[in-house]
Chains A and B, each alone.
Chain A
Amino acid sequence: MSEEKKTTRRQIAAAKTLKKFMADYFYEMDDAAKTGSQKIAWCTSVGPAELLRGMGFLVYYPENHGAMLGATRMSTDLIPYANALGYSPDICSYLTCDVGSYLQKKTPLTMAYNIESVPRPDVLVFNTNQCRDVQDWFAWYSRELNVPLVGVHTHRDIGNIRNYQIKDIASQIEDLVPKLEEVTGKKFDLARFKEALGYSRRTSELWGACLEEAAAIPSPWTFFDATIHMAPAVVSRGTKEANDYYELLLPELQQRVKDDFAAVEGEKHRLYWEGMPIWGKLRSLSEQFYSLKTCVVASTYCNSWIFDQLDPDEPFESMAVAYTELFIVRDELYKEQYITDCYNKFKFDGILFHDAKTCPNNSNNRYGMPERLSEKLGIPVLTINGDLCDLRCYSEEQAKTNIEAFIEQLEEK
């Protein structure tokens, strides 16, 4: 019957390098944690990474670990252990599965890299620009491991970004310096910080350029590919290695476009993915879209690691701008305009909103945006219910039927 077939698709060649990249990233940190050769900071995914890199930290991202727990489907079994400690099943399932993983001493790093546990932090650094959950998450580890917790509190729901907001955030970032110096025991080196900013800016430019290749018709890659290849931009921004990776990936994508290569053979429909990935179901969703000749060409999620305002000449201010102008920090009007601009660039035929049960911050369907955008852009929208990591909140059958029906609807046009 019409069950999607397992497909053999041309792999992105850079994926091999990516694999090694990620292995090196984790081995370096594992080694540092064991030998104490370098200090380790845990950082939120859109936290002040450049400052940490510039101050000589290795940077570990619990959200990346959450995504790995989700992708390996370990998360659903681990979440209840955190629930039992009083962390509700309704809050961020990255938080709950990661804490569950700590409590149960189980990590996907063991299977993937033969690493026993995540690296112990010397300091925990958050920015609430994405949500409050990250602060509570890190606070748990701070109590548990007796490690200092520092952070930046960002304004929320911002329309036009105002000067006072930037000044405030810039000074909050600057205030981190003495606290971090206490951890490193070394003096802050402005030149090194600027260098990290420069690298990060370049990573953003390259990563943004990679994503923009999907504007080509047919698209050379999909959202599902990008969720994998975004890893260096997330975990290694502020380093030269991250740039080297995208210097490799970008020409490969450009070549695909030149060759008219379609990531989804016979691409008939193009969609925008709004919201979190469903980590444990990336493959099966990707297969389903492939069988429906539908390419998910762009997403808010993958675009969220483009910080092109970073400027080594204005280090603190530009960091404040870059980490405040993010989609997730902004008001509804801004978000709608953002997706409208994406629509004009990527020419998609519909938008899929993922209502992630445990992440209201990335579930933009909840205040009427799908309806407003559908009317504004004249394209249909679909909301599917699920979650980033808690597969108890996901009905695969319902989601797949909804997606299939949505494509039928596009075909009736």
Chain B
Amino acid sequence: MTNDAGSIFVGVDVGASHTKVAILDSEKKLIGHSVRKSGTDFTDSAENCLNSALEMANALEENIVRCVSTGYGRKNVPFSQGTKTEIGCHARGCYHYFPMAMTIVDIGGQDNKVIKLDAKGRRLSFKMNRKCAAGTGAFLEEMSLRLEIPLEDMDALAEGAENMVELGSYCTVFSATEVLGKIRQGKKVPDIVKGLFFSVIKRVLEMDSLTDRVVITGGVVAHNPYLVNMVEEITEREIMVPEYPQLTGAVGAALFAMEKGGHNG
């Protein structure tokens, strides 16, 4: 393998469901990235994820100047030299793409965040959802199992819906029962899936108010772009989405690595 990458900076975001690695060159350009299931061995998945991102960047481990880890498993990354919370890294990553005052809405596999930044990218406030699957990727995963619809088909189904079946419950288990009831009533599956998306959006929007500019990130919108259209319609705002919405935290961590940020451990 040739190695023409020069100095690189690595961000590792070990989320509860997926691990993401982003590699930036010294110009802050994203030259390598990778996403894998976190599984049960965070260290192992972080290493595998790093290797494939290095491959994509055409770089070697010795090119790494510094690595910062973030996310639920941030303390399980032996090759990182510092940690930052996912809240900090999402903020940093989003501000890199959209340098303005904004509200960041991150819809992750197992949690959501709403973060507000001022025009200089400083955090004004943040909220994480409570310990519940409502409004997260886990909710959609559970529903895809119940409805026996592959997760990757949901976006197209929702987009093709003619109507929307609204769900009333907060709780994932209650919603599952409700969904089965709707099917028995003969409601159409696409309309139900759109209702599921709506439920995710409602859970997130009730966490905090939004400012003028809104950025949405996270795995759920990476795989379900139609959900963003729905948010635009509901909030009557143009919603900004970074190129790789699932990588925002990892990119933020890589930027901190470049700025020598993160708590040293």
Complex Cα distance, B75 from A91, in Å, reads 36
Tell yes or no: B106 within 8 A of A by CB.
Answer: no
Count of A residues near B, CB < 8 Å? 20
A393 to chain B: closest residue by CB: B131
A222 and B202 alpha carbons, distance in the complex (Å): 40
Interface positions, chain B 95-134, Cβ under 8 Å from A, are: 111, 122-128, 130-131
Q: How far is the CB of A36 from chain B (nearest CB, A)?
A: 49
**A2 near B126: Cβ-Cβ < 8 Å:** no
Q: Is A286 an interface residue (CB 8 A)?
A: no
A399 nearest CB across to chain B (Å): 10
Check if B83 sits within 8 Å of A2, measured CB to CB.
yes
Would you call A2 and B264 a contact (CB within 8 A)? yes
Residues of chain B contacted by A395 (CB below 8 angstroms): 131
Of A1, A374, A408, which one neighbours B88 at CB under 8 angstroms?
A408
In chain A, what residue has the closest Cβ to B131?
A395
A412 x B122 contact (CB < 8 A): yes
User: B227 contacts the other chain (Cβ, under 8 Å)?
Assistant: no
Give CA–CA (A380, B116) in the complex, Å: 12
Other-chain contact of A408, B80, B85, B131, B265 (Cβ < 8 Å): B85
Q: How large is the interface on B (under 10, 10 to 19, 20 to 34, 35 or more residues)?
A: 20 to 34
Q: Which residues of B contact A374 (CB under 8 A)?
A: 125
Complex contact B128–A380 (CB within 8 A): no
Residues of A within 8 A of B264 (CB): 2
Asked if A337 lies at the interface with its beta carbon under 8 angstroms from chain B, I say no
CA distance A409 to B130 in the complex (A): 20
Interfacial chain A residues near B84, Cβ < 8 Å: 408
Let me know if A405 is at the binding interface, CB within 8 A.
yes
Interface members, chain A 353-409 (any B CB < 8 Å): 374, 380-381, 383, 385, 395, 397-398, 401-402, 404-406, 408-409
**A313 within 8 A of partner (CB):** no
Contact yes or no, B85 A398, CB < 8 A: no
Query: 6 closest A-B pairs (Cβ-Cβ)?
Result: A1-B265, A405-B87, A405-B85, A2-B263, A2-B265, A395-B131
- Given A401-B128, A406-B126, A409-B125, 15 additional A-B pairs, CB 8 A: A1-B83, A2-B82, A2-B263, A3-B75, A385-B131, A395-B131, A398-B111, A401-B87, A405-B85, A405-B88, A408-B85, A409-B87, A409-B88, A409-B126, A412-B122
